[in-house]
A and B are shown apart, each in its own frame.
Chain A
């Protein structure tokens, strides 16, 4: 039955070809270090799912943000789990992205013809850090407030344009309701859109160019 449905769909969509290109492609003999990218992708999916769930209750205004987070953690069934997965998944994702990058560096896997894969990967790393930076403010507790105060001030230390950048990030001279709202907007709309686009390009390139073999002595 499942096969017949699969055949019916395949006649009309050719999905088996897509499936084969993604999951049945030829790869060189590799080791567990080559799974770091997939692990990062898994975490990205985890962040998307738990993040969408968190927005069901979270409110990005100074008078309700903290209380809504406490509500999620203490009152909503499994809220502690959803928030915990998002919280720890975020840290784990930064770590895994870093390890993934180190593996590519040490294996010199960024060389021709994979320069574009490397470049989109660097962008994905920056986007991930952007997620971490904007998401850190959202619980609106003391740690979040002061971390963002310091973080935006670091941006403000840049010569000439620093002050303007800091004001744009904060939406004014100080951290305020405007800051929280725009960090939320960037965290749940801008960055996800960019992230998913670049993940698509990154994966297309990985599949199209194949992955590099383990370097041999003398390479």
Chain B
């Protein structure tokens, strides 16, 4: 190896085959390691919340729904809490009750018409916009649809 710096026939075969095997092994290995990190969230089905008629005009109403979420090989049942509000009984808005600051649960304060997060006094208005406190962005919204008086949400 020392004297002839030219890659001879044997060296070419050895390093060529060795390199091919290494690459053939390395590419699947990298895909295998990073694969789950690249997968999209699959829980994109419509989730049924309950009767739309339960929502009083102008008052955010809290709905709870159980959702199955698969993480790796484990299926978890999570409870999803969602505020639904309507001004006219036809158009509904659904927002998460999770504060965008650090994930505490917000509650509706009827007399002030605001959502309040008890952890660090984050305040949101009836549309989920930040009115005060540390939250960096509005409450997360869900897509809503109504079928046969049943509310469904998706995404979030």
Residues on A lying within 8 angstroms of B by beta carbon are 3, 16, 19, 24, 49, 53, 56-57, 59, 64, 67-68, 70-71, 75-79, 81-82
B31 touches A77 (CB 8 A): yes
Bin chain B's interface residue count. Answer: 10 to 19
The residue of chain A having its C-beta at the shortest distance from the C-beta of B27 within the complex is A78
Whole-angstrom distance from the CB of A51 to the nearest CB of chain B? 12
Which of B32-40, B60-68, B76-84 is near enough to bind chain A?
A: B32-40
Q: A16-B2, A68-B72 are in contact. Are A78 and B29 (CB under 8 A)?
A: yes
Closest 3 CB pairs of A and B: A78-B28, A77-B35, A67-B73
| A57 vs B2: C-alpha distance when bound (angstroms) | 44
On chain A, the residues within 8 Å of B112 by CB distance are none
On chain B, the residues within 8 Å of A77 by CB distance are 28, 31-32, 35
On chain A, the residues within 8 Å of B35 by CB distance are 76-79
Chain B interface main SS type: helix
On chain A, the residues within 8 Å of B29 by CB distance are 49, 53, 78, 82
On chain A, the residues within 8 Å of B28 by CB distance are 77-78, 81-82
The residue of chain A having its C-beta at the shortest distance from the C-beta of B21 within the complex is A42
Chain A interface main SS type: helix
On chain B, the residues within 8 Å of A16 by CB distance are 2
| A24 vs B74: C-alpha distance when bound (angstroms) | 52
20 A-B pairs within 8 Å (CB atoms) are namely A3-B5, A16-B2, A49-B29, A53-B32, A56-B32, A57-B72, A59-B73, A64-B73, A64-B74, A68-B73, A71-B73, A76-B36, A77-B32, A78-B28, A78-B29, A78-B31, A78-B35, A79-B35, A82-B28, A82-B32
Residues on B lying within 8 angstroms of A by beta carbon are 1-2, 5, 25, 28-29, 31-33, 35-36, 72-74
The residue of chain B having its C-beta at the shortest distance from the C-beta of A77 within the complex is B35
The residue of chain B having its C-beta at the shortest distance from the C-beta of A10 within the complex is B2
On chain A, the residues within 8 Å of B73 by CB distance are 57, 59, 64, 67-68, 70-71
The residue of chain A having its C-beta at the shortest distance from the C-beta of B31 within the complex is A77
On chain B, the residues within 8 Å of A24 by CB distance are 1
